[in-house]
Structure 1
Amino acid sequence: MLSSIVTSKTRIKLLLKFFSHNNSGYLRSLAKEFDESTNSVRVELNRLTEAGLLNTEDEGKTKVYRANKSHPFFEEISNMVSKFLGLDELMEKIVRRMGAVEKAYIVGDYAHGKDTGEIEVLLIGKNLDLKYLDFLKDKTYEKLQRKVIVHLQEEELEEVKGIMIFGG
């Protein structure tokens, strides 16, 4: 879906990186993470910056890039990226069909912008449907090729390290 709208694979990777998480990055680390040449990453970073989608900030000799949260399309792009990743659908199904889910958080590496192939979810609630949870985990792996690890909690913790929060 996203690849039919955005034709550059490097640009897609950058959009996913910056708009699915509150991430920042610099040229060389992004090139290494994406296994792309620094030149192809630089070209796309420049295009996204010129379009106003990314902000830059100098940290010493390094230019750091982040999503421009004040851009008029920030929310729309974030929503589109989230839908592309399938997280909206996953969290919506969990909250809607799992039972008394009070809150659902995406935590761990994925919440911090590292796609390790695993998505960790913290569910807060009581009497949750564990059979349906197993079904959802299998379906998510089939669809997203990501393993889902679920942590269950009956009461909300004082502080949750995840940055993606979905209310129930």
Structure 2
Amino acid sequence: MLHQLVTSKTRLRLIVKFFLFEEETYLRRIVREFNDSANAIRVELKRLSDMELITGRPVQNRRYYKVNKDHYMYEDMNRLVRNYVQWDQMQELLAETKWQKVYMASEEQPPHGLEYIVEVKESSQYAGKQVLLGESIKVNFVPPDTIRSMAQTLIMVHRFDLGRANIRPQLS
């Protein structure tokens, strides 16, 4: 449903990225990650900033962006995005594995083409396995070498933080 409300593919990818991976990032990093034009991303970052869903702050010659947790719609948007990508079910699956990074494959027709790529060690019992999350979301467990050779655009949505005991992102 979210992909029907947000018709810009770039804006949808940015919304998902900012709400799932709540770290600051800057334009060039997003351009590399999304494999999209800087202008298209800049336009959508401006739109999201104008709506105050994200905030930006200058640091030297870069502008860093992050989700605005003080926005009056933050809680609702957070729930909507997490429901759209079945994040709670994904977290349950991740709790069973030793993983390093989680990516979302960028597809033209979400949610039917929505796919998670979970980076695991080569020696992991999950390496090379695929499971279905819900009715339509594929989850592929792959070693780092496979990720580097993938042709599709991958959007990082979560990274394991060795300093945290709890991997489940909390709704603020």
Task: Tell me which interval the TM-score lies in, with the shorter structure as reference length.
Answer: 0.5 to 0.7
Match of 1:164, SS state, is coil
Sequence identity of aligned pairs in percent?
27
Please report how far the alpha carbon of residue 147 of structure 1 lies from its aligned counterpart in structure 2 after TM superposition.
2.7
2:66 corresponds in structure 1 to 66
Change (3 A) 1:72 1:20: same
Change (3 A) 1:22 1:47: same
In the superposition, the TM-score normalised over structure 2's length comes to 0.63
Provide the rounded CA distance (Å) in 1 between the counterparts of 2:51 and 2:74: 12
| Contact 1:108–1:119 (CA under 8 A) maintained in structure 2 | yes
2:76 corresponds in structure 1 to 76
User: Which has the larger helix fraction?
Assistant: 1
| Contact 1:55–1:68 (CA under 8 A) maintained in structure 2 | yes
In the superposition, the TM-score normalised over structure 1's length comes to 0.64
Given candidates 156, 160, 169, the residue that maps to 1:164 is 169
Name structure 1 gaps, 5 residues minimum: 95-102, 121-136, 150-156
Provide the rounded CA distance (Å) in 1 between the counterparts of 2:65 and 2:11: 14
Match of 1:23, SS state, is coil
Please report how far the alpha carbon of residue 141 of structure 1 lies from its aligned counterpart in structure 2 after TM superposition.
8.3
Please report how far the alpha carbon of residue 90 of structure 1 lies from its aligned counterpart in structure 2 after TM superposition.
4.7
Provide the rounded CA distance (Å) in 2 between the counterparts of 1:2 and 1:104: 28
1:93-132 map, 5 Å: 108-110=100-102, 114-115=103-104, 117-118=117-118
Provide the rounded CA distance (Å) in 2 between the counterparts of 1:24 and 1:43: 18
Number of residue pairs matched by the alignment: 131
Please report how far the alpha carbon of residue 58 of structure 1 lies from its aligned counterpart in structure 2 after TM superposition.
1.3
1:34 corresponds in structure 2 to 34
Provide the rounded CA distance (Å) in 2 between the counterparts of 1:148 and 1:79: 25
Paired amino acid for 1:143: S
| Contact 1:141–1:148 (CA under 8 A) maintained in structure 2 | no
Please report how far the alpha carbon of residue 2 of structure 1 lies from its aligned counterpart in structure 2 after TM superposition.
1.5
Q: Which has the larger radius of gyration?
A: 1
Please report how far the alpha carbon of residue 13 of structure 1 lies from its aligned counterpart in structure 2 after TM superposition.
0.6
Q: Deviations over 1:81-114 (max 9, x none)?
A: 111111224557x7xxxxxxxx88996313xxx4
Aligned-residue CA RMSD (Å): 3.3
Provide the rounded CA distance (Å) in 2 between the counterparts of 1:14 and 1:106: 27
Change (3 A) 1:59 1:10: same
